[in-house]
Structure 1
Amino acid sequence: MSQSDPSSTENDVAANLAEIQRNINSACAAAGRNTADVTLVCVSKNHEADHVRKALVDGRRVFGENRVQEAAGKWPGLREEFPDIELHLIGPLQTNKLKDAVALFDVIETVDRPKLANALAKHRDSTGQCPDLFIQINTGEEDQKAGIAPKDADDFIKMCRDELKLPVKGLMCIPPVDEEPAPHFALLGKIAERHGLKIKSMGMSGDYEAAIRLGATHVRVGTAIFGSRGY
């Protein structure tokens, strides 16, 4: 796996993106997949707007942020310059931030519990607004990590889609840092297949090529693009 060294090319965002795209293309070719079927989500958390703008100038339009408050301070101005941005929330969402998140994000990737699902449905019913949603699966069943346990995933997905009529478009996972990610990607793929969900958001800077070979449609890459965290 060949990836950008953020310590040496931290400010060369365009070069980093070009290398990552080459890696994506190679991984797709190895898996017999169409490159157009993989979306690179540029993870811009903890980076200032001027640094993020380099990726926008390079033509990228899909970005991920972890925190509602940080995104609210950064993206409205960038959207004025680049109105076709698609912004994903990839960090945990507290219900007291839900209204702001719905107004700001086009996709929420971290629907992870019944309380949040019900709150999203209630907000949708009262305002008519709800972004596309991914359900986060805690494939490693880690106590410190958000997400629905795999054994509860089927019931939760059915609740969100059938009972609450939420716009669930796919699944997302973050494998344990100390484990081989491939089995986690495969598990997410099996759950998605059972429910006819085509979108699988999995793979980050260190393992996105493996994720693509196992069917990822969205890969979330930050450090390999923007370098070490800016804030």
Structure 2
Amino acid sequence: MLTDPGRRAELAASLATVRERIDRACAAAGRPAEAVTLTAVTKTYPASDVLLLAGLGVTDVAENKDQEASAKAAEVRATGTRLRWHFVGQLQRNKVRSVVTYADVVESVDSERLALALARAAAERPVPLEILIQVSIDGDPARGGVIENDLWRVSDAVASSDGLRLGGVMAVAPLGWDPDRAFAQLAALAERMSARHPGATTVSAGMSGDLEAAVRHGATHVRIGTSLLGMRNSLR
């Protein structure tokens, strides 16, 4: 696959800036820089960009649509490049069998039915599929995610399912909310989650505009798209 030296330089500069932001945020929070993993959100961008990022040291990438993700993951795998693929979009049950063939992590599980569908589809995987429970911070069902009252039922279903491994929680700060307020609420739920399920310590939170607040409140993974790859073309 041909690569563009100019695009590589552009991505390298953006990656250095993002990593510097993460390092500064970790230092301010009294956390080691290696405590936070950068997940590059590569939706709408070509496999060539994914390969360039991999060459620059990125290990985790995220996609939100199965049709795009499955083709891109296959194209990247064909080069011999191995990455950790995260599925972060709303997932319909009829896409589950496809997603489990390439995803290492599904971050958007928000119902027991979806968890059980993933468990059935993942039964033949050589390694368990990691699951993050998407939490609704503001309780608005239109945004996706489970409310606190349902979090424990869904997480228990994941933890007890063969083929799945409960990794932790994921959330997006609601529009109009102060990110510190949102991520403080998530941190409290994450602490209760890890007490209930000691292995579930992943907290996926924070994007290009609010990663510092997420790191301040214990995020272990930040999902970065625009600050890394640039503004998306809405016509793509």
| TM-score between the two structures when normalised by the length of structure 2 | 0.87
Rounded Cα–Cα distance in structure 2 between residues aligned with 1:182 and 1:43: 22
Counterpart in the other structure of 1:36: 34
Rounded Cα–Cα distance in structure 2 between residues aligned with 1:178 and 1:184: 10
Q: How far is 1:79 from its partner?
A: 2.0
Q: How far is 1:151 from its partner?
A: 2.5
Rounded Cα–Cα distance in structure 2 between residues aligned with 1:156 and 1:49: 34
Three-state SS of the structure 2 residue aligned to 1:41 is strand
Counterpart in the other structure of 1:203: 206
Rounded Cα–Cα distance in structure 2 between residues aligned with 1:209 and 1:55: 22
Deviations 1:129-158 (A, max 9, x none): 641111101111123111111222123222
What does residue range 124-139 of structure 1 map to in structure 2 within 5 Å?
A: 124-125=122-123, 127-128=124-125, 130-139=128-137
Counterpart in the other structure of 2:170: 172
Counterpart in the other structure of 1:3: none
Q: How far is 1:75 from its partner?
A: 1.9
Rounded Cα–Cα distance in structure 1 between residues aligned with 2:21 and 2:224: 12
| TM-score between the two structures when normalised by the length of structure 1 | 0.89
Unaligned segments of structure 2, at least 5 residues: 1-6, 195-199
Counterpart in the other structure of 1:221: 224
Counterpart in the other structure of 1:183: 181
Q: How far is 1:11 from its partner?
A: 7.5
State the structure with bigger RCO (CA 8 A, min sep 6), 1 or 2. 1
Counterpart in the other structure of 1:73: 71
Q: Is the 1:109–1:133 contact (alpha carbons within 8 Å) kept by the matching residues of 2?
A: yes
Q: Is the 1:10–1:227 contact (alpha carbons within 8 Å) kept by the matching residues of 2?
A: no
Amino acid at match of 2:39: V
Q: Is the 2:110–2:135 contact (alpha carbons within 8 Å) kept by the matching residues of 1?
A: yes
* % same residue: 36
What does residue range 1-231 of structure 1 map to in structure 2 within 5 Å?
A: 12-125=10-123, 127-128=124-125, 130-162=128-160, 164-165=161-162, 166-196=164-194, 197-230=200-233, 231=236
Q: Is the 1:38–1:217 contact (alpha carbons within 8 Å) kept by the matching residues of 2?
A: yes
Q: How far is 1:89 from its partner?
A: 0.3
Rounded Cα–Cα distance in structure 1 between residues aligned with 2:103 and 2:158: 19
Unaligned segments of structure 1, at least 5 residues: 1-8
Rounded Cα–Cα distance in structure 1 between residues aligned with 2:82 and 2:214: 27
Amino acid at match of 2:190: A
Q: Is the 1:10–1:228 contact (alpha carbons within 8 Å) kept by the matching residues of 2?
A: no
Amino acid at match of 2:171: C
Q: How far is 1:183 from its partner?
A: 1.8
Deviations 1:171-225 (A, max 9, x none): 0001112211222211221112112131100000100111001100000000000
Q: Is the 1:41–1:218 contact (alpha carbons within 8 Å) kept by the matching residues of 2?
A: yes
Q: Is the 1:171–1:192 contact (alpha carbons within 8 Å) kept by the matching residues of 2?
A: yes
Residue-pair matches, total: 221
Q: How far is 1:27 from its partner?
A: 0.6
Q: Is the 2:100–2:122 contact (alpha carbons within 8 Å) kept by the matching residues of 1?
A: no
